[in-house]
Amino acid sequence: MGVDIPALNEWFALNQRPLPWRDPSCSPWGVMVSEVMLQQTPVARVEPVWHDWITRWPTPSDLARSSQADAVGAWGRLGYPRRAMRLYQAARILHSEHGGAVPRELAALLALPGIGDYTARAIRTFAFGIPEPVVDINVRRVMARAHVGEGDAGPARISADRETVWEVLKPLDAQAQVSGAKALMELGAVTCTARSPQCAVCPIRESCAWRAAGYPPYRGKKAPTQARFEGSDRQVRGIILRELRGNDTPVPEEFLTTLWHDATQFHRALESLLADGLAARTEGGIALAS
């Protein structure tokens, strides 16, 4: 029982979604942008913004010569706009310290703003073909079910999760390891989903430990759930940023306060945007930070 990576790779070769950042012509920068955008954001929302972004800034140096306000503005409604700010900051570092190129070295990637362990390893694998145990929530779910026999992965354990994935990839050659890393993620995203797994068409159903055990319900610790968006400070921040993105000139603070019914929450959200460096106070009002 376990994860049959060769069978999974065969399935992936025939069934993978034709995502633009998977195209062989996609640059390492394009892969990096996609990975940052895909953090907590669905593919369907990312794809059109990614196309616009790469058309406008095809290299890190192109973005570095622009402004942070332009980056945040182009981020649109992807959410978590600090990612746009950090991607802009990373582009400036790539331009000034790496010759405008995305580095291959793990330590160099981890040193960039907004690039954590998962994203750095994903860039190495998906952009440069360097085998890495790339572990996101989809991969953790597949491994928990097929390899361990549990219905859910529970709370993340970064080192242990990475070691478990590497355990199934390590026996293969480098090319199969890279394909396997992609295939594990794809299977969790489209087939071995959280609520409605399509076990009847799963390419590794014959070797799945969860299936062999009779699909027992998960009784372990639950992963923490994300706070509700409606009525949250995140929602208010998004409303403010949307208004700022739609104006070429600073917006009077008095007008912005009319966008939300709770004045205390509005000011808390606004102050957090100012503290994060996403917005700035000017003589004419509030504007995206440049």
- What amino acid positions are annotated as catalytic residues? 35
Q: Cα angle vertex 89, ends 50, 96, to 5°?
A: 110
Phi, psi of 57 (to 5 degrees): -130, 75
HSE of 250 in the Cβ direction (CA atoms, 13 Å)?
14
Question: Quick one: which H or E segment has residue 286?
Answer: strand 285-288
**Type of residue at 160:** A
Residue 176: which region, alpha, beta or left (left: phi > 0; alpha: psi -120 to 50)? Answer: alpha
Where are the extended beta strands (E) located within the chain?
279-282, 285-288
